[in-house]
């Protein structure tokens, strides 16, 4: 079988899937068109984004368990169909807030949740020798997809309107995710890379925990809290970056370009932090990443008035935010084993769903109430520094 001869072939399918799923992170390019064209409030635009993120995270738990049982291909294909259908139907809503909440927020969010975990869990099993790097590569497309589809959506919005952008993107997503899903399959039982002796820089627990066991460990809850704090900061910026730039005095075009920069560095951060964690360890990598993100969130308010400084801030936030999606699946597999990694990482990932509600809506609501982002960015920065401190307490669960 050709796939058994070259496991890297599966990476290509994973990247095709993740490119489309990552389009969700280009949401801020839809914010102002919805506000100007359909009188949405900032809070309403962020509510759609947050519902999509929360649905994504909740559905991913069930998708992880399901794909552990029946394999990744069927689950991922269903996700692609649902994602594409959600965006296509969004184009037919006439700009109704409840309808967009249902189509983009719930339907598309559920499609992302079904498809996201499948390539990730598959590649972790195929690459036990490069767990951090491959986790980063598996989800790098998610960050890069935000940049690609931010450009595509902007062009379509300017020429044909925001509803047409939803429809066209939905067609692309449905086709590409289904095609990418066709190559997904788990390795044979007992398979390992040729010449690999089981050596790795990161300690492992040496056993496979099921989901009932992991929720009884303090390690799971440490991971959950750190993920929630760090993801909330990144999602707050992603959901509000363009409006923040315009509020700070920059043109819509310049502020919009920062969204693309954030997306590119989001993708790069996934690969780099994953590779770094293979070399220096997950805990040290997480602590450094959280600390860097916390510092930026504390000074972000001073970065919005200059195109260069906003670009630096966008790159910084995107780079560290992206690292979450390489480090957390890797450390989940290290701590709790690979047999149930789909459902176990799905449970860890619920922290991202909570962050998806807290981060963007907090940013939008604080601005609506106070006319400033201060009371959103600063507390988020402090939370990231707390996560950095927690990372130093992390230890691999003892083998029993």
Q: What is the pTM of this model?
A: 0.75
CA distance 86 to 65: 23
pLDDT of residue 200: 61
pLDDT at 206: 64
Q: Give the model's pLDDT for residue 334.
A: 86
**How high is the pLDDT of residue 1?**
43
pLDDT of residue 309: 93
DSSP H stretches of helix in 22-94:
28-38, 42-70, 72-90
Residue 240 C-alpha from the chain's centroid: 16
* Alpha-helical segments (H) within 195-281: 211-214, 218-247, 252-280
* CA–CA dist 342, 320 (Å, integer): 24
Query: What six digits make up the tokens of 198?
Result: 């089981």
pLDDT (0 to 100) of residue 82 = 97
CATH architecture of 2-187+208-391: Up-down Bundle (1.20)
Integer angstrom CA distances of residue 351 from 103, 150, 189, 225: 23, 26, 31, 7
* pLDDT value of position 204: 65
pLDDT of residue 2: 47
- What Rg value do the Cα atoms of the chain yield, rounded? 20
Distance CA 291, CA 274 (A): 17
Rounded-to-integer distance, Cα 229 and Cα 232, Å: 5
The pLDDT of residue 324: 93
* CA dist., res. 269 & res. 265, Å (int): 6
Task: Please report how many Cα atoms fall inside a 13 Å half-sphere around the Cα of residue 163, on the Cβ side.
Answer: 13
**CA-CA distances (angstroms) from residue 177 to 14, 59, 76, 122?**
9, 17, 8, 15
pLDDT at 5: 53
d(CA 227, CA 348): 8
d(CA 281, CA 45): 39
pLDDT digits (tens, 9 = 90+) for 231-253: 999 988 987 888 888 888 888 88
Please count the CA atoms within 13 angstroms of the CA of 118 that sit on its side-chain side. Answer: 37
What local confidence, expressed as pLDDT, does residue 141 receive?
80
Contact between residue 348 and residue 394 where contact means Cβ atoms under 8 Å apart = no
Apex 70 CA angle, 67 and 71, nearest 5: 60
pLDDT along the chain (400 residues), means of 10: 64 90 86 89 87 88 87 94 96 93 95 92 84 81 80 90 94 95 87 68 69 89 95 89 84 83 86 89 92 94 88 94 91 86 88 84 81 86 95 74
Assess contact for 293 and 384: CB atoms under 8 A.
yes
Within 8 A by CB and 6+ apart from 217, the residues are 209, 397
**How many CA atoms lie less than 13 Å away from 340 in the CB half-sphere?**
17
Residue 190, CA distances (Å) to 124, 143, 253, 331, 353 in order: 14, 33, 53, 21, 34
Per-residue confidence (pLDDT) for residue 362, from 0 to 100 = 82
């Amino acid at each position: 079988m050709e796939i058994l001869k070259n496991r890297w072939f599966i990476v290509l399918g994973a990247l095709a899937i993740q490119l489309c799923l990552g389009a969700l992170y280009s949401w801020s390019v839809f914010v102002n068109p919805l506000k100007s064209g359909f009188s949405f409030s900032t809070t309403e635009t962020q509510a759609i984004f947050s519902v999509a993120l929360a649905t994504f995270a909740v559905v991913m738990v069930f998708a992880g368990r399901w794909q552990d049982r029946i394999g990744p291909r069927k689950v991922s294909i269903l996700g692609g169909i649902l994602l594409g259908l959600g965006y296509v139907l969004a184009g037919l809503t006439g700009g109704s807030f409840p309808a967009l909440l249902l189509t983009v927020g719930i339907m598309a969010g559920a499609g992302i949740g079904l498809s996201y975990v499948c390539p990730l869990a598959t590649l972790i099993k195929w690459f036990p020798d490069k767990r951090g790097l491959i986790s980063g590569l598996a989800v790098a497309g998610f960050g890069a997809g935000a940049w690609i589809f931010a450009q595509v959506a902007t062009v379509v919005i300017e020429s044909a309107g925001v509803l047409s952008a939803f429809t066209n993107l939905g067609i692309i997503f449905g086709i590409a995710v289904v095609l990418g899903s066709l190559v997904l399959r788990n390795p044979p039982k007992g398979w390992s890379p040729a010449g690999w002796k089981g050596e790795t820089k990161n300690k492992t627990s040496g056993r496979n925990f099921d989901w009932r066991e992991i929720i009884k460990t303090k390690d799971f809850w440490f991971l959950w809290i750190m993920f929630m704090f760090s993801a909330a900061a990144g999602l707050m910026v992603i959901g509000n970056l363009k409006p923040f730039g315009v509020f700070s005095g920059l043109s819509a075009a310049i502020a919009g370009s920062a969204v693309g920069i954030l997306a590119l560095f989001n993708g790069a951060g996934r690969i780099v932090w994953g590779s770094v964690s293979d070399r220096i360890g997950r805990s040290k990598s997480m602590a450094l990443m959280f600390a860097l993100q916390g510092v930026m969130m504390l000074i972000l308010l001073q970065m919005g008035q200059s195109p260069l400084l906003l670009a630096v801030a966008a790159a910084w936030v995107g780079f560290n935010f992206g690292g979450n999606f390489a480090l957390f699946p890797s450390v989940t597999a290290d701590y709790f084993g690979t047999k149930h990694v789909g459902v176990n990482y799905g449970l860890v990932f619920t922290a991202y769903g909570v962050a998806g509600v807290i981060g963007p809506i907090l940013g939008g609501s604080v601005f609506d109430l106070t006319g400033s982002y201060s009371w959103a960015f600063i507390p988020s920065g402090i939370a990231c520094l707390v996560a950095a401190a927690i990372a130093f307490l992390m230890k691999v669960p003892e083998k029993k």
